[in-house]
Amino acid sequence: MSTDLDLNKLDQQELERLRADVDQALKTLHARRLKEARDAATALAKEHGFKLEELVGAPPRAAKAKAKLPAKYANPDDPDQTWSGKGRKPKWFNEAIASGKTESDLAI
């Protein structure tokens, strides 16, 4: 495919529109090729008596479950409320610290 488009003759708005069109065309092409590949792989797996998921595992969109970290701190008022010490501090932890407790007071 040959185009006789002279990019030097386009203004900024036309170039940005062209870039957006190209980006969209690339996304569409990728999605179409991915579907074609998946369909071909599914057909081949079926030809051999399998489902594609049996051969490759879970679909690619399935998120892996993160391992839960062990609790390091517990709320003295409600021991079911715990925190691993990673990530944002829970409200009960901040309130306990503000009331004069130390981290070691809250440690399990």
Which pLDDT value is given to residue 68?
Answer: 84
Which pLDDT value is given to residue 36?
Answer: 96
- Distance from the Cα of residue 27 to its chain's centroid: 18
Q: Which residues are within 8 A (CB) of 45 and not within 5 positions of it... i.e. 6 or more apart?
A: 51, 52, 54, 55
Judge whether 95 and 106 are in contact, CB under 8 Å. no
d(CA 82, CA 94): 13
Predicted TM-score (pTM) of the model is 0.45
| Average pLDDT per 10 consecutive residues for the chain, totaling 108 residues | 81 94 95 95 93 78 72 91 93 94 92
